[in-house]
Protein backbone atom coordinates (compact mmCIF):
# COMPACT_ATOMS: atom_id res chain seq x y z
CA UNK A 1 0.00 0.00 0.00
CA UNK A 2 1.22 3.49 -0.77
CA UNK A 3 2.59 5.27 2.35
CA UNK A 4 1.08 8.55 1.19
CA UNK A 5 -2.35 6.97 1.09
CA UNK A 6 -1.91 5.53 4.58
CA UNK A 7 -0.82 8.96 5.86
CA UNK A 8 -3.85 10.58 4.23
CA UNK A 9 -6.16 7.92 5.65
CA UNK A 10 -4.85 8.33 9.20
CA UNK A 11 -4.56 12.11 9.39
CA UNK A 12 -7.58 13.08 7.32
CA UNK A 13 -9.91 10.09 7.32
CA UNK A 14 -9.78 9.26 11.02
CA UNK A 15 -10.68 12.78 12.26
CA UNK A 16 -13.45 12.98 9.67
CA UNK A 17 -14.95 9.71 10.91
CA UNK A 18 -14.61 10.86 14.53
CA UNK A 19 -16.27 14.18 13.74
CA UNK A 20 -19.13 12.42 11.97
CA UNK A 21 -19.82 10.17 14.96
CA UNK A 22 -19.50 13.03 17.44
CA UNK A 23 -22.06 15.08 15.48
CA UNK A 24 -24.42 12.08 15.30
CA UNK A 25 -24.14 11.41 19.03
CA UNK A 26 -24.42 15.14 19.76
CA UNK A 27 -27.71 15.38 17.89
CA UNK A 28 -29.09 12.47 19.93
CA UNK A 29 -27.95 13.31 23.45
CA UNK A 30 -26.91 16.96 23.18
CA UNK A 31 -23.61 18.80 22.86
CA UNK A 32 -22.84 19.08 26.59
CA UNK A 33 -23.56 15.40 27.22
CA UNK A 34 -21.36 14.44 24.27
CA UNK A 35 -18.44 16.47 25.60
CA UNK A 36 -18.91 15.00 29.09
CA UNK A 37 -19.03 11.48 27.62
CA UNK A 38 -15.79 12.07 25.72
CA UNK A 39 -14.11 13.42 28.87
CA UNK A 40 -15.44 10.51 30.94
CA UNK A 41 -14.12 7.88 28.51
CA UNK A 42 -10.72 9.61 28.49
CA UNK A 43 -10.56 9.64 32.31
CA UNK A 44 -11.80 6.05 32.63
CA UNK A 45 -9.38 4.90 29.95
CA UNK A 46 -6.49 6.63 31.71
CA UNK A 47 -7.26 4.85 34.97
CA UNK A 48 -7.64 1.46 33.26
CA UNK A 49 -4.42 1.89 31.28
CA UNK A 50 -2.58 2.75 34.48
CA UNK A 51 -3.91 -0.31 36.35
CA UNK A 52 -3.23 -2.69 33.48
CA UNK A 53 0.18 -1.13 32.90
CA UNK A 54 1.15 -1.94 36.49
CA UNK A 55 -0.20 -5.48 36.07
CA UNK A 56 1.81 -5.96 32.88
CA UNK A 57 4.92 -4.53 34.55
CA UNK A 58 4.53 -7.05 37.37
CA UNK A 59 4.23 -9.90 34.86
CA UNK A 60 7.42 -8.66 33.15
CA UNK A 61 9.16 -8.61 36.51
CA UNK A 62 7.99 -12.15 37.34
CA UNK A 63 9.12 -13.45 33.94
CA UNK A 64 12.53 -11.92 34.38
CA UNK A 65 12.73 -13.39 37.89
CA UNK A 66 12.18 -16.85 36.39
CA UNK A 67 14.94 -16.18 33.85
CA UNK A 68 12.55 -15.92 30.89
CA UNK A 69 12.45 -13.23 28.24
CA UNK A 70 9.21 -11.23 28.65
CA UNK A 71 8.78 -10.49 24.94
CA UNK A 72 5.01 -10.91 24.74
CA UNK A 73 4.47 -8.91 27.93
CA UNK A 74 6.64 -6.10 26.58
CA UNK A 75 4.66 -6.03 23.34
CA UNK A 76 1.48 -5.93 25.41
CA UNK A 77 2.97 -2.92 27.17
CA UNK A 78 3.46 -1.22 23.81
CA UNK A 79 -0.15 -2.01 22.96
CA UNK A 80 -1.22 -0.49 26.28
CA UNK A 81 0.68 2.67 25.35
CA UNK A 82 -1.16 2.78 22.04
CA UNK A 83 -4.45 2.19 23.89
CA UNK A 84 -3.68 5.11 26.19
CA UNK A 85 -2.99 7.37 23.23
CA UNK A 86 -6.20 6.27 21.51
CA UNK A 87 -8.23 6.89 24.65
CA UNK A 88 -6.80 10.39 25.09
CA UNK A 89 -7.82 11.39 21.57
CA UNK A 90 -11.34 12.82 21.53
CA UNK A 91 -13.81 10.61 19.73
CA UNK A 92 -15.81 7.44 19.96
CA UNK A 93 -14.06 5.30 17.34
CA UNK A 94 -10.62 5.80 18.88
CA UNK A 95 -12.12 5.17 22.32
CA UNK A 96 -13.64 1.90 21.11
CA UNK A 97 -10.29 0.80 19.64
CA UNK A 98 -8.53 1.83 22.85
CA UNK A 99 -10.96 -0.11 25.05
CA UNK A 100 -10.53 -3.17 22.82
CA UNK A 101 -6.79 -2.94 23.44
CA UNK A 102 -7.50 -2.92 27.19
CA UNK A 103 -9.14 -6.35 27.12
CA UNK A 104 -6.32 -8.76 28.11
CA UNK A 105 -7.46 -11.61 25.83
CA UNK A 106 -7.86 -9.26 22.86
CA UNK A 107 -4.48 -7.66 23.56
CA UNK A 108 -2.76 -11.06 23.72
CA UNK A 109 -4.53 -12.09 20.49
CA UNK A 110 -3.39 -8.94 18.72
CA UNK A 111 0.21 -9.48 19.85
CA UNK A 112 0.20 -13.14 18.77
CA UNK A 113 -1.43 -12.25 15.44
CA UNK A 114 1.28 -9.64 14.84
CA UNK A 115 4.06 -12.05 15.76
CA UNK A 116 2.71 -14.76 13.46
CA UNK A 117 2.19 -12.30 10.62
CA UNK A 118 5.73 -10.96 10.94
CA UNK A 119 7.17 -14.52 10.99
CA UNK A 120 8.63 -13.96 14.46
CA UNK A 121 6.98 -17.16 15.69
CA UNK A 122 6.03 -20.36 13.89
CA UNK A 123 3.11 -22.74 14.42
CA UNK A 124 3.77 -25.74 16.64
CA UNK A 125 3.50 -28.12 13.67
CA UNK A 126 6.71 -26.66 12.27
CA UNK A 127 8.60 -26.36 15.54
CA UNK A 128 11.90 -26.25 13.67
CA UNK A 129 12.66 -22.99 11.95
CA UNK A 130 12.33 -23.09 8.18
CA UNK A 131 15.64 -24.10 6.66
CA UNK A 132 17.07 -23.11 3.37
CA UNK A 133 17.99 -25.70 0.75
CA UNK A 134 21.65 -24.69 0.82
CA UNK A 135 21.93 -25.40 4.55
CA UNK A 136 22.05 -29.18 5.17
CA UNK A 137 20.51 -30.61 8.31
CA UNK A 138 23.16 -31.79 10.76
CA UNK A 139 22.34 -34.15 13.60
CA UNK A 140 25.01 -34.45 16.29
CA UNK A 141 24.78 -37.70 18.27
CA UNK A 142 26.77 -40.42 19.91
CA UNK A 143 26.12 -44.14 19.62
CA UNK A 144 27.52 -47.38 20.87
CA UNK A 145 27.11 -50.75 19.24
CA UNK A 146 26.35 -53.63 21.52
CA UNK A 147 26.83 -57.13 20.05
CA UNK A 148 24.70 -60.04 21.24
Residue 76 lies in a domain: yes
Strand, helix or coil for residue 27? helix
Asked whether residue 138 is assigned to any structural domain, the reply reads no
What is the spatial distance between Cα 113 and Cα 97, in angstroms, rounded to a whole number? 16
In a domain, 145, yes or no: no
Please, which residues have CB within 8 angstroms of residue 86's CB and are 6 or more apart in sequence? 94, 95, 97, 98, 101
Distance CA 53, CA 128 (A): 34
More confident residue, 26 or 133: 26
Number of neighbouring beta carbons within 10 Å of residue 56: 21
Range of the domain at 55: 12-125
- Return the closest-CA partner of residue 23 out of 86, 96, 93: 93
Domain count, the chain: 1
Could you read off the pLDDT of 90-105 as tens digits, one per residue?
899 999 999 999 999 9
Q: Say if residue 20's pLDDT is above 70.
A: yes
Q: Tell me if 104 sits within 8 A of 50, measured CB to CB.
A: no
Tell whether 144 is covered by a domain.
no
Mean pLDDT, residues 4-30 taken together: 90
Across the chain, mean pLDDT equals: 86
pLDDT in tens, 3-13: 888 888 888 88
Evaluate whether residue 68 is within a structural domain. Answer: yes
Q: Is residue 4 part of a domain?
A: no
> Is 22 a member of any domain?
yes
Q: What is the pLDDT of residues 47-60, one digit of tens each?
A: 999 999 999 999 99
Tell me whether residue 132 is in a domain.
no
Read off the pLDDT of each residue in 65-93 and give the average, rounded to a whole number: 91
Amino acid sequence: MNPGFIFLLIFVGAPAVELYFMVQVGTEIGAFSTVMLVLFTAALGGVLVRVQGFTTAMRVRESMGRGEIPAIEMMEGILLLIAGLLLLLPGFVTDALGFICLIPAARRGIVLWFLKRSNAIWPASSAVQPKSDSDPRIIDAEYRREDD
